[in-house]
Structure 1
């Protein structure tokens, strides 16, 4: 169970004669300070929109790309999805470092949203580019949005340091819930634009308004409103930070009062939390990037059906996610040992992979895509397994009801069971110091997972279907369980 307050450990008791009573006073003040809920609620709103930016195009990205570039393949899709994460990998540590340096959350976040606006606007204009340029421009658009989304680490760091430790599990759980809810609702928002169809309407003879281009244009408007609202409404509060002044200077986490300083955080414990986040992001990206190609192949869904049905499943998973986060925030579930919750979540991930592995006792075989009237394989016309895949004949179909149940419940329970407790534990391990850079590093590794995941998952899917990418995920998940069991005693809050 996570301690409700920071305590004085043997780190300082060994030097009790020289112990700085001002530091003891500071620790008591930290434990008694009230959480600034007003600013935290504003951050929740920003995290929600940040989550939407991550996934709003995942179910439609492949149909959009194949529509504007007939030569595109699933490997190209992997690089498009990875470009977002590569951009985020640059943005996370930079914005985290910048936020710590200027001791501000507001300015980096607003600057990041400008990148997001530019990227979304380019995405809406992709149909205006030639086949030779469209792949590059799609990658560029997602790269820019990724850079801007690097501010998610800054927002999460603010949440961790704008509350007292007794409420951190609740604050962090709701923060990640906001981002996760946004991420799972993103494809649902895309599905809402399905009635506009692929042909759509032409605006000013330049912008084609259809089910692919309307969502990014809406996101541009949302970002503009968010920048204005956040810049003028957000007031920052930091709890647990020794603010710098002439008499009491904070340098690299050292509280310069006599000979005392904050103890260093446990690097192994921090690394394990970061690895857990890496596993979460790997799972999320693999599921999201392959949702459309996999269901088109497995269940003969057309492009429009894949967008709609995957959007519905993601919406149901989002509801399961959100209920889980609410239980963590407002019931006794938040007092359950974070390590146990993480293991439960990882077990749900493992169950998802087991159920969706192409076991030989799944006897139903895959169907090939029906040839369209123009003698081509066109997933607008018919779903199924493409004849370019050599594994269609030997790969059984996972029963649809198992896929839906595991998608909604295994993932819906697994993601919040890991991300909420893991995020709170990570903040507690770091202790009452500025966390912008370290939260940025955590987001960096999540971005690396999101960059590697789509490329590796699409490559494995092209060459072997779901078999080997399920095995790869299973290995990553198993390593996470082993690390938690072996280093259980080190996964505790910083003792001051």
Structure 2
């Protein structure tokens, strides 16, 4: 159900971008930063802080062994706290449902403008290649970290990556602008006369 609501919000956001000139009110660079901030807020809100009183249920405490944390396999189950399911699902639907379409549309449009008349297909293709590498290696790293330490190190890694990306956006904010072809250098009249005089002396 949560995925369905996220899909509905994503569809609404696409309709908004199609019918409204959002760039008139918010720059594409600002939209990308806001999307990252929403993702960062989501991870901070859903992080299983140690100060929480509620702990996850163990699989040997339930009637169904597939439900709960497997204490025989994961030793971190004894230290893992639980957050409210309502908090998780509401923040996931709202924050992730808004941030992903906003970032997807804004980043694709901005990257196209930054490239300008250069080889769009090649550069867009390389962007997708590295994006695929990130999803592939990121999922493997997350799985390994989850097995060894639980969801906390995974959340910490994502918070660090998102925070670093936001810092990079602020650092290069003024450079992320549409491509502007270099202006031709003006030819001064004095330089033409001097060239002509040099040519005259040479021939004489």
Find the counterpart in structure 2 of residue 325 from structure 1.
Answer: 14
> 1:363 is paired with a residue of what secondary structure?
coil
Residue 171 of structure 2 corresponds to residue 486 of structure 1? yes
> 1:474 is paired with a residue of what secondary structure?
helix
Cα gap change, 1:403/1:371 in structure 2, threshold over 3 Å: closer, same or farther?
closer
> 1:408 is paired with a residue of what secondary structure?
helix
Report how far residue 457 of structure 1 moved: 0.9
Q: Is the CA contact 1:327–1:334 (under 8 Å) kept in the aligned structure 2?
A: no
Alignment of 1:16-31 (within 5 A): none
Report how far residue 371 of structure 1 moved: 8.2
Name the TM-score, length of structure 1 as normaliser: 0.35
Question: Aligned to 2:80, which of 369, 377, 395?
Answer: 395
Cα gap change, 1:406/1:320 in structure 2, threshold over 3 Å: closer, same or farther?
same
> 1:391 is paired with a residue of what secondary structure?
helix
Report how far residue 495 of structure 1 moved: 0.6
Alignment of 1:457-496 (within 5 A): 457-496=142-181
* CA deviation string 1:48-72 (max 9, x = no partner): xxxxxxxxxxxxxxxxxxxxxxxxx
Report how far residue 446 of structure 1 moved: 0.8
Residue 7 of structure 2 corresponds to residue 315 of structure 1? no
Alignment of 1:48-63 (within 5 A): none
Residue 123 of structure 2 corresponds to residue 438 of structure 1? yes
Find the counterpart in structure 2 of residue 341 from structure 1.
Answer: 31
Measure the CA separation in 1 of the matches of 2:34 and 2:22. 13
Find the counterpart in structure 1 of residue 53 from structure 2.
Answer: 363
* CA deviation string 1:140-176 (max 9, x = no partner): xxxxxxxxxxxxxxxxxxxxxxxxxxxxxxxxxxxxx
- Structure 2: which 5+ runs fail to align? 182-204
* CA deviation string 1:456-481 (max 9, x = no partner): 11111112211111111111111111
Residue 68 of structure 2 corresponds to residue 384 of structure 1? yes
Report how far residue 372 of structure 1 moved: 9.5
Report how far residue 362 of structure 1 moved: 2.4
Measure the CA separation in 1 of the matches of 2:98 and 2:79. 32
Report how far residue 343 of structure 1 moved: 0.9
Measure the CA separation in 2 of the matches of 1:353 and 1:457. 14
Name the TM-score, length of structure 2 as normaliser: 0.82
Alignment of 1:24-39 (within 5 A): none
Measure the CA separation in 2 of the matches of 1:338 and 1:423. 10
Measure the CA separation in 1 of the matches of 2:6 and 2:115. 31
Report how far residue 329 of structure 1 moved: 2.1
- Structure 1: which 5+ runs fail to align? 1-311
> 1:367 is paired with a residue of what secondary structure?
coil
Q: Is the CA contact 2:62–2:68 (under 8 Å) kept in the aligned structure 1?
A: no
* CA deviation string 1:349-397 (max 9, x = no partner): 0011101111123221111124899xxx852xxx110121111111101
Q: Is the CA contact 1:321–1:412 (under 8 Å) kept in the aligned structure 2?
A: yes
Measure the CA separation in 2 of the matches of 1:394 and 1:488. 41
Tell me the C-alpha RMSD between the 2 structures. Answer: 1.8
